[in-house]
Each structure stands twice: as structure tokens, then as C-alpha cells.
Amino acid sequence: MKKLITLSICLLLIAAYAYSNGTEESEKKATLQVILNQTWNKPSFEPGLREYEEANPNITIDLQVIPDEQFSSLLKTRIATKQYPDVYLDNFGQISQLYKVPELLVDLGNESWVNRLLSTDGVKVDGKIYGLPMNGTPSVQGFVYNKDVFENVGVEVPTSYEEFVAVCEKIKAAGIAPIAVTAKDNWTIGMWIIEIMPQVVMEKANIWTDLNTGAVRYNEIPEFAMAISRMKELVLDKGFANKDFLSTTYDMGNTMVAKGEAAMVVQGDWACADIAKNFPDANVGMFPFPIVSNPRFTSGFTPAFTILKESKNVSEAKALLEFLASPEQMKNIANDWGYVPAVTDVQVVLNPWIQDVVDNYISKGQSPIPEMGVTSIISIGELAKNATNMLTGSMSSDEVMTEWQIYFEEQATIRKLPGWN
Amino acid sequence: MQQKRKYNIGKTYSPLFVIPGFTVYALFFLIPVFIGFYYAFTDWNMYLDEISFAGLANFRRMFTHRVTSLAIKNTLIFSMVTTIGKNFFGLLLALALVKTLRSGNIIRTIFFTPSILSYIVIGVLFSSILHPSGLLNDTLSLFGLSNFTRSWLADKDIVMYTVSAVEIWQWTGFHMAIYLAGLLSIPKGLNEACIIDGANAAQRFIHVTIPLIVPTFNVNLVLSLIGGLKVFEQIYILTNGGPGSASQVINTQIFEAFGNGEWGYGTAINLVLFIFITIIALTVLNLLRRKEIEL
């Protein structure tokens, strides 16, 4: 009996071996794991991938859509445990903060679409190109507001903190939540941080280099403490936030603004696109976060497709990126996200809010300044988490900055970054 | 009895038979664990090419880190509250259900069901029940108890207790089953003798039932303590450590450290948790063993 079993197992293995060899000779079948977070799985993305699958019967695309909150920790765990996906969509700035890009990603500098890109600034590390960007110019970040609410209440777009507080008071008096705070999704608190922090130190030259090399400390800069305490003032002390903001998610916040239950939300221009899709009648626009006088938009967000070096199907993954870079797909992406297309041979009608931003700010010389996600060498996730702690009432604004300084030093030291030995 | 004796005389197996099992155990468990202990003392992380010895740096960082101290506190709260809750309600249910005969099995099954549900199901279910405008708060308001409505999972002061309550709800049935087994193993004769001697229900409970279910109680206590200290899924799914870091526990910290690529640090926290559990479990087990009585 035992011999029989052994024999049959041997035969089975031989058969399997022969079979696997046979297929390899004829045509390689490959499964490409494409991983992205839920909010980024825009309507025309998946149909595009399925279309590609149909045209290439050898390729199966395993699209892994991860809930926003778990995306980055899950991906980090997968990379740490060497369970690499093939194609990975994330904010390129974030990727370059978290990983050693030249070791993790495939250099895409020789791909045919590179020459068609409007700008490669967002996807470069040490002069080499590691990603296929989804936008030609980085996303603009500021307040997304419901224009109708502003009109009905009779307020204008504020340009200083004092004006902003006055505007919020009026909106609150009209029975509308002035600011939709969506703290259930921690990254949306991160949006506050990356927008307000660079603005308060706009006037200081070299401040970010000094912070990154440890020449100055975060908790010694009064402007940062002011920014964080203003955040607390707006949300808690003055009560400009919606009720139950700790249980409110990004989508819920957008809905509130679209329906006029809240007047504005701290977001990037993608939120306008999401609102416009679900509520075509909503009249939304953007203005820079008035944490200081003469506020500026921030930017630096470049979502990009990247290929992991450890992928077993690099050439297939490159072919997929080639497809995604085709004018048709790039047009879909630009329309889905409301972006300026990443490639020069695609023209889309700019969304009204982008046109607004261009007309009212950028053409007047007020171009966006880099967001903190770009200026800081350490990912701001921990700072955002502690800011949320502050909004639950368990930390003071000073503690937030002290804790961030401790965390920043700790992280910079364990990574042995330049200036931190 | 006779057969047992026959085997014992001069017929023990050679200790060498342990080797295959022990090799596998050592290879896949013991050695990795001890290598892990070593890495707890290094600065191993995903950003460095070389691993170097860091002494006690990881441990120092852990005990000065605000969130990690909070996580240790939260883990202790969670394991205390759930241990008390699970055992109290489990015993209560077992006592109530030990007598009923016909419908007993159905009712026991109903109480046991939550413990076979996956944490994902429980998490999704309770996230919506405990939402500020969810079932629980709506029900409270309906009965005019709006003063008692809370943001159960978003209030930093009560979030640990909310999660504990969910855990107690889920596992009470499981502990009830163990208590039932213990209660059913008490010889009927003892209780009958007491009744003849004129002992009332309370006296029988204190002097007969309690001493005889001490072993069962020990099992339940140690199981729930270890379960409480190892808490992860419940927190991860219900709150993900939030709001902010109000419901971080040791295991979510470990998960986060590994996620951030700080493998040495993650291993160090894990080592501390391991020592923690070992000490607590052994102490409790030893203390309670002495109270056990043999029939």
C-alpha cells in the first residue's frame, strides 16, 4: 500500500513538473497583483484593467483594494514579510519617505511613455524616474467649500485667520456646521497638518532643511505650536466641527459638504472630484487654509503607479503600465480624479474648481507651496495621530509638538539619516 | 488497571523517540523564539543595511514612550475587566442552565454561538451598533434615556470598557460551557447528602459547589487572563487603536512597530509581552492550585 502511494505521488510530481515546463515553453501565464487603497479605486480604473485582461489572455490581474485605514500598514507588513505585489499605487512622496526607493522599485526611465510626461518632478528620486504619475501637476490642497452655503449665509472667502473665525461664527449661527472634521479616517487629520504647518513657517528660509537635519527642533518653533493650538481652537474650543466628528469618515464629510450640512472640509482637489461624481448639482470650490494672513494652497501629492523590484513579472508589469499610460487610460484617470493629465497628448476640460484655482490664485502668482508630506523626511502619520489625540481631549497642543519632536528624533536616529548619528 | 501495570514494567519506550517531534518543535518554535530574543536587543529595522547590537535601547524607548505605556495600561485594564466579566457572567449562566433539561441544550447553544463567530463579523456588527447614531444610542433615546447615550467607540475615557464589553459578550458562552462541565461533574450524592442534613441552597453552593469547581475556575481564569493580555483582533477591528491612540494595546503596538519596519523594536515589545504573560499566568496558576481539592 505504502509503495503504491509513494509511486503515485512520484508520478504526480513528475506530471506536474512536465506540465509546468510545457506551459513555460509555449506562453507564460502571469498573474499581476495590483494593490491600491479603496478611495483610489475610481470608477473607470477596474473596467480598464478588465479590458486589458481581455486583450491579453495570458495576463490575469489580481486587483487588491484595501480599506484606506489599513492600506499603508498592510503594505508595509507585506513588504517587510517579502510578500510583494507587482504593481503598487500610492502617493509617490509617501513612498520615498517610507522606503529606499532605488532598492524597492524598478527604474522606469527607459519606458516609452516617459517622453510624453508633462512633468517628472513628482516621481523622481536621485534624478531617476520610478513611477507613472497620475497627474501632470500635483494636487492642490486647501479648504473644499460649498459655494451655495457661503452665498446663502452671506460670507466671502476669508484671507486671514481672524476673518476665517468670523466666517465660521456666522455659518455656525446659521445652524450649519462650519467645518466637517472627519477624524475617523486619521489621514484626513493629516491633511490639516500638511496644509497648516508649511504655511506658518513660509517666511523662514531653509527651515525644513534645518528641521530635517536636527539643527532646529519642532517644539522650539512657536509658529508650529500656534498652528496646532489654532487647530484645537477651531475644532474644540470654538466648536466649529460637526457633531460626532470622531466617528465621521472621509466619505461622510464629503456628503455633508455636498448637501450643505457642513460648509467646508480640509481636503485636496480630489475631494471636489468625488463630490461632483456623487452630487453633480453641488457647487464646490476651493480656497487655501487661512491659518495665516495671505494663505497659500499646498501641494505635493502625486499618486503614481510603481513596479516592485522583487516582482516576478516585471516585464508584464511594465506592459501594464504602458497600457495605463495610453492616451485613452490617462484621459479616464484625469477625468476620474479631476486632474491635469499626466501626459502631454491628452487634453481634458479642466474641472471648474481647478479652473477657479488657476484663475484666482495660480495666475496671480500665488502658486502652491510644498506640503509637509514632502518637506518632512519623516512620515507625518504619528503627528496626525497625536493631533487626533488632542481632538479627543487627551493631549494638549504643546504635548503634540513635544511628542512629535521625540518621535522625529527617534525615527531619524534609528534610520541613521544624515545629521543624526 | 491490570493492563496499565503490564505496560509499565520494563516496557517504557526509549527516550530517543522524542527526537523527531522535538526536532520539528525546536526548528520551528524554540530556535526562532530564542533568535527573536536576540533581535530584541538590536536596532534591526528596514532602513538599515546592517544590524547592530543596541543593548537595552529598545526597552528604554518602550517604557519612556507615552503611547506604549498607555498600551500596557490598556492591556491590563482589558484583561482585568474581561476576566472578571467573562467568569462572573459565565458562572451565572452555567448555574442557571445546569438544571434545565429539555430546552437546556438549545439555550446553551444560543449562548455559545457568539464565540464561534469571527472577529470580523463581531467587529462590523458592533461598529454599527455602537456608532453615535447606531442601534444602542437610538434604543436608549427611544426609552427616554438619552442622558446615557455616548460615542461608545470614540470617547477616549470609555472606549476600553466598550471593547471589553463586546469581548465579554462574545466569550461568556464559551466560559459558561467550561463551567457547565465542571458543575455537571459534581457527584449528585454530595448535594443529596447535604439536603438530608438540612443545608439550604446557599450553604450547598458555598460549601459543596464552589470548592469542587475550583479547578474549572482556574482553567477559566487562566484562559481569560491570557486571552485578555493577548488582545489584538478586537481592538484592531473595532477601533484600530483609536480615537487617536486611546485604545492602543500591546499587540497593536507590536503590529504597528512591525508595520513601520522597526523589527527590533517590535520584537522587544513582544518579548516583554511574553514575559508579562508567563509571569502572570504562572503566578495565578500556582496560587490557585493550592486551593484545589481532590475528590
Of the candidates A349, A323, A333, which has an alpha carbon nearest to the alpha carbon of residue A135? A333
Residue in B240, B244, B262 nearest the CB of A392: B244
Distance, in Å, from the CA atom of A206 to the CA atom of A214, rounded to the nearest integer, reads 12
Portion 55-74 of B in contact with A at CB < 8 A:
61, 66
Confidence of residue B286 (pLDDT cuts 50, 70, 90): confident
Residue B191 pLDDT > 80: yes
Out of A74, A99, A389, name the one closest to residue B244 (CB): A389
pTM: 0.76
B38 CB-side CA count, 13 A: 7
Number of H helices, E strands in chain A: 18, 13
B132 interface with A at CB cutoff 8 Å: yes
Comparing CB atoms, the residue among B243, B259, B260 nearest residue A392 is B243
DSSP letter at A293 equals S
| CA–CA separation, A66 and A324 (whole Å) | 20
> For position A178, what pLDDT does the model report?
96
**What percent of chain A stands above pLDDT 90?**
43
Taking an 8 Å cut-off on Cβ atoms, the answer to whether A392 and B240 are in contact is no
A373-396 residue pLDDT tens: 888 888 898 899 899 989 988 888
Percent of chain B with pLDDT over 70: 94
Contact A414 B43 (CB under 8 A): yes
Residue from the list B133, B151, B259 with its beta carbon closest to the beta carbon of A246:
B151
Q: Do A184 and B154 touch (CB under 8 A)?
A: yes
Complex ipTM? 0.71
Query: Is the preceding omega at residue B243 within 30 degrees of 0, hence cis?
Result: yes
How much is the mean pLDDT over chain B?
Answer: 87
Residues 6+ apart with CB under 8 A from A4: none
**In the predicted model, what is the mean pLDDT of chain A?**
87
Q: Are strands A124-125 and A87-91 parallel, antiparallel or unpaired?
A: unpaired
Burial of A322 by CB count in 10 Å (0-12 exposed, 13-18 middle, 19+ buried)?
middle
A417: alpha, beta or left, given left = phi > 0 and alpha = psi -120 to 50?
Answer: beta
pLDDT value, residue A164 = 96
| pLDDT tops 80 at residue A13 | no
pLDDT digits (tens, 9 = 90+) for B97-139: 887 666 778 888 889 999 999 988 998 899 889 988 889 988 9
Please tell me the distance from the alpha carbon of residue A49 to that of residue A54, in angstroms, as a whole number. Answer: 9
Q: A9 phi and psi, to 5 degrees?
A: -65, -45
DSSP of A85-117, one letter per residue?
A: -SEEEEEHHHHHHHS-HHHHB---TTSGGGGGB
Which residues from B are below 8 Å from A74, CB to CB?
259
Interface test with A, best of B62, B260, B263 (most A CBs within 10 A): B260
Residue A244's closest chain B neighbor by CA? B132
Confidence of residue A16 (pLDDT cuts 50, 70, 90): low
What the block records as the C-alpha cell of B244 is: 487617536
| Type of residue at A132 | L
Weakest mean pLDDT among A79-83, A226-230, B71-75, B235-239: A79-83
CA B113 to chain centre: 18
Q: What is the pLDDT of residue A138?
A: 81
Residue B1's pLDDT band (boundaries 50, 70, 90)?
very low
* Predicted confidence (pLDDT) at residue B141 exceeds the cutoff of 60: yes
- Nearest residue, CB atoms, A73 vs list B153, B243, B259: B259
- Nearest-angstrom CA–CA distance, A241 and A168: 10
Q: Which residues of A touch B73 (CB under 8 A)?
A: none
State pLDDT tens for residues A32-74: 999 988 888 888 888 889 999 999 998 999 999 988 777 877 8
Nearest to A247 by CA among B162, B241, B155, B123: B155
Nearest CA in chain A to B153: A247
Q: Chain A residue with minimal CA distance to B262?
A: A414
